[in-house]
Amino acid sequence: MTEKHTHKRGQLVRFDSLDDMAPAEPLSPAFKALTDDETERRAANDPDAGAIPPGFWITARPVEAENKEQITLRLDPDVLRHFRGTGKGYQSRINAVLRSYVQAKEKAG
């Protein structure tokens, strides 16, 4: 069995293997009763479902997330106050700003 990683707040659990995950709960009777045609109709009308081009799943491959590197970074107090004031996820927003800067520099050559 591989190791199970739990986020420090206990909200995120990562498994090293799908075999380590508990089996999913069975579908409710209402979902079991759906025909393939009804499932297709619901999927086609789902506003959150994007258009998947034909053949996409034939060549699709999983992409592993790039690990972030933990560092110590000194920021001006007002800059840090601004980002912290934007709420949860402020470190990701700082990363996005830095990424945008790097991309602009690379584009400029």
Q: What is the pLDDT of residue 8?
A: 54
pTM over 0.85? The answer is no
* pLDDT tens digit sequence for 91-106: 999 999 999 999 999 9
Q: Are 5 and 17 in contact (CB under 8 A)?
A: no
Residues 23-42 have a mean pLDDT of: 86
Q: Are 18 and 1 in contact (CB under 8 A)?
A: no
* pLDDT tens digit sequence for 42-86: 888 888 877 778 888 888 888 777 788 899 999 999 999 999 999
Going from N- to C-terminal start, the domains of the chain cover 4-62+69-108
Q: Which letter, b or e, does each residue of 27-57 get, where b requires 16 or more Cβ atoms within 10 Å of its Cβ?
A: eeeeeeeeeeeeeeeeeeeeeeeeeeeeeee
